[in-house]
Amino acid sequence: MEVIRDLAACPAPAGGSAVTIGAYDGVHLGHRAVIQEVRKRAEQLGCPTAVVTFDRHPATVVRPESAPRLLTDLDQKLELLADAGVDLTVVIHFDRARSQESAEDFVVEVLGRCLRARLVVVGEDFHFGRQRGGNVELLQRMGPELGFDVEGLRLVEIPGVQGPVSSTAIRELLTAGDVVRAAELLGREHEVRGVVEPGDGRGATALGFPTANVTVPGDILLPADWIYAGWYVRPDGSTYATAISLGRRPTFYPEGAPRLLEAYLLDFDGELYGEAARVRFVSRLRGEERFESVEDLVAQMNRDVEAARAALAEGTH
């Protein structure tokens, strides 16, 4: 997949392109349904597929006080778009000036000049441009002049899940700790990425469970404070069954302590400090608890490890 980060370097494909636009946070099953439609139509038209997205969530600029935490960082989003079969992704730098751009100017600059769009496919509730002034109707109004058709797709729904698939719905599930249902909407396990940093050393010395303390960027959404079963993926791609503790360690620290993601890799003995880690959440095991003694905590941790092993043995990664 070709990635364009500067509109001045846009390819303006000679045969045009089939385009979709959006934040694409999570690249979930709803997003993939749109991409699948774009790919199908692009094949019929004999042109490449293109996604227009942004280098940050637009809400971080427009309404930073209520901007959502992200399901994916930019690198992961681009990897997922490539995996979905997109030919070209245009990453637009979103800042205050861009937020003030009219929807009409955006259409002319990006869909017209940059991509020579022949088809634009978006969700039926799609909005863009200054004060969200752009929508499917505006695209349909401008399309004939600029040479593109428009399709507004209904949002994808999954049996047994209330409401359409959306990034907002997935965030709500993760905030409640329901990583299983979140995975159903994502089409994969929720994954966070960060760097393994030194901790207080208690896991290896006092508890007998050396953990990787993974520092995740603050704009990425972590699930609720629970003990989880999951997978830890190292930079070389090797994957380990993992018991994950996400929370504030109430046995050792007072209320209000910083949240910490600790990953105990089953059947692993080695050095992890400083490496870029990927942690995937498969299922939750129990809520976070405060124990009266270290011995009680260690006994529970042993049970957690066995529960994680059993949960992960039921599936594949």
Residue 12's SS3 state is coil
- The contacts of residue 188 (CB under 8 Å, 6+ apart) are none
The two three-digit tokens of residue 46, written as one number: 């004999």
State which amino acid sits at residue 156. Answer: V
- The contacts of residue 293 (CB under 8 Å, 6+ apart) are none
Residues 22 and 305: their CA atoms lie apart, in Å, by 40
- The contacts of residue 112 (CB under 8 Å, 6+ apart) are 146
Longest Cα–Cα distance in the chain:
73
157 is catalytic: no
| First vs last C-alpha separation in the chain | 25
Count of CB atoms situated within 10 Å of the CB of 269? 6
CA dihedral 227, 233, 235, 236 (to 10 degrees): 150
Conformation bin of residue 22: beta by default, left when phi > 0, alpha when psi is -120 to 50: left
Which is the catalytic residue, given 65, 197, 262, 275?
262
- Residues that are catalytic: 262
